């Protein structure tokens, strides 16, 4: 069985991990990274806007973002505007689809399937929403997905709300979906859920849907041990 190397990065700034995932994706494209990878991280508060983001969907002014300590990035992923922050598990799968199925729509459905499976471990009845990307429960959105690929190697990924402060989503129209209600695993279950447990469940669910053997590896092994951003 092929491998999925999983790296837990802890709580880190968005900008440094953006550059790290781009570097790892370049290594995967070049054949210098032997295995598919999954970077798991929490971010300090940040708003990101994808390729199709509409300016009107970020309702907060720059002054309000600054007052709440929220950074802002425009990035190459698909999708509109979203938020990342502590208590949210963000995953960046760097997967060579040439070794799986060369179809980004298939890939998005696989990510959704992995998240739905992982949420089942906490008896959260998660599902897709027809015509929209992401994962919902009881009509509320619990996970967002936005990806990018070059030469069939993916980066960017998913954000699963575990215990994140949902008030940050009031700064925007999340994912550009009017009327969407965001939720979290802790809000749905009314109990504390360790993010480390969710990380383990999601990594193994992702391994299952892509038929990959999950291996935890240290950050220092990325890019053949070269100095990665910290």
The residues that are catalytic are 175
Place of tokens 């060579």: 96
CB 192: neighbour CB atoms within 10 A?
Answer: 9
Measuring CA to CA, which residue among 169, 185, 165 is closest to residue 80?
169
**3-state SS, residue 197:** helix
Count helices and strands in the chain by DSSP H and E runs = 5, 11
Q: Which residues, 6 or more positions from 141, have their beta carbon under 8 angstroms from its beta carbon?
A: 129, 134, 135, 174, 175, 177, 180, 181, 182, 183
Max CA separation in the chain (angstroms)? 51
């Amino acid at each position: 069985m092929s491998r999925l190397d999983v790296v837990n990065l802890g709580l880190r700034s968005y900008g440094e991990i953006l550059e790290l995932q781009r570097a790892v994706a370049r290594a995967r494209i070049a054949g210098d990274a032997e295995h598919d990878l999954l970077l798991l991280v929490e971010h300090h508060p940040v708003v990101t806007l994808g390729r199709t983001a509409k300016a009107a969907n970020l309702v907060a002014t720059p002054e309000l973002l600054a007052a709440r300590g929220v950074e802002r990035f425009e990035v190459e992923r698909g999708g509109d505007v979203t938020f990342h922050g502590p208590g949210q598990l963000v995953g960046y799968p760097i997967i060579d689809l040439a070794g799986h199925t060369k179809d980004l729509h298939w890939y998005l459905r696989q990510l959704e399937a992995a998240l739905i499976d992982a949420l089942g471990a906490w008896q959260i009845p998660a599902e897709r929403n027809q015509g929209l990307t992401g994962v919902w429960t009881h009509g509320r959105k619990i996970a967002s997905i936005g990806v990018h690929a070059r030469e069939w190697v993916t980066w960017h990924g998913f954000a699963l709300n575990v215990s994140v402060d949902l008030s940050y989503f009031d700064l925007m129209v999340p994912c550009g979906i009017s009327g969407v209600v965001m939720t979290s695993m802790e809000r749905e279950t009314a109990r504390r859920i360790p993010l480390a447990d969710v990380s383990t469940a999601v990594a193994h669910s992702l391994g299952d849907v892509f038929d990959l053997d999950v291996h935890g590896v240290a950050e220092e092994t990325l890019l053949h041990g070269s100095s990665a951003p910290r």
